[in-house]
Amino acid sequence: MARRGKKKGRPVNGWLILDKPAGMGSTEAVSKIKWLFKAEKAGHAGTLDPLASGMLPIALGDATKTVPFVMEGAKVYRFTVAWGEERSTDDLEGPVTKTSDKRPSEEDIRQLLPRYTGIIMQTPPQFSAIKIGGERAYDLAREGETVELAAREIEVGRLDLVSFDGEKAVFEIECGKGTYVRSLARDMGRDLGCYGHIADLRRTEVYPFTPQQFVELPALEKAAETAHSEAADFSGLDAFLLDIATALEGLPEIAVNDDAAARIRLGNPVIVRGRDAPAEAPEAWASARGRLVALGMVEAGMFKPKRVFGA
């Protein structure tokens, strides 16, 4: 019988809200954080392009089990569109494919914004991570293939014009999962008859996390000096982590006692108690002594665990 390999790293659990610098890919950022924390396991909740900066929530250890809840959360971006050029990648990285001498007026832009709010259809950019026949669209595009991606439904809660100088416009958008801001810049440029591409992109929020929880890479690297020394003191690094349950804001919390927690960790359902406890909930989480016990659902007054967490 083959033996399982010993897990490498520390069993550290929690969320780190990284302020990702421009020029660093999301996978590279996760690898960096995993190495700094010497963590057994790490993942992120929503890719940021290398040219983009801002909020990249990174889950360590058991926090990876809560990634889907963060992926579904609303995102806020601040972005700059440069008018007059369309590019193959819809941002500064790709070559210019179309040009125009026309420039929109501020009134032209403001009149266009309602068309890009609410439930709308959007065609993702060719250079995206969407799979076509098992291959990433950006890999096919880099090989020179023309990538045809189907339009998909997205939701834009708001789209505001922040500033405009004639050549560039700065916007802020609150949107749902699957929205491509690069596609938004491309489509607005086409609708305005002047073409456009992303000149700067920063993600400022990923619900339920806030900008106040940002951690910058230099601060982590500084704290890691002690962690990676002979002292091997990770307390400074671990202080940057948020509790796993921070990702579950908005879901019903079912408080249980220690006996019920033990039953739940064995995969057994328990009766939901308390005057304000829900009788039905498609998604909920159980806690004991303020600590996450399990993710699950409430059905007919019973909490039924789906994913359990260690004590």
Just list the catalytic residues: 49
Strand, helix or coil at 36? helix
Strand, helix or coil at 108? helix
- Which residues, at least 6 apart from 37, have a Cβ–Cβ distance to it below 8 Å? 9, 10, 12, 16, 60, 227, 234, 237, 238
225-231-236-241 Cα dihedral, nearest 10 degrees: 100
Torsion angles phi and psi, residue 19, rounded to 5:
-90, 90
- Residue where the block lists tokens 């002047």: 194
Query: How buried is 239 (Cβ within 10 angstroms: 0-12 exposed, 13-18 middle, 19+ buried)?
Result: exposed
211 cis-preceded (ω within 30 degrees of 0):
no
Residue 213, CA distances (Å) to 27, 95, 208, 248 in order: 21, 36, 11, 16
Q: Which of 188, 214, 192 is CA-nearest to residue 203?
A: 214
Q: How far apart are CA 289 and CA 302, in angstroms?
A: 19
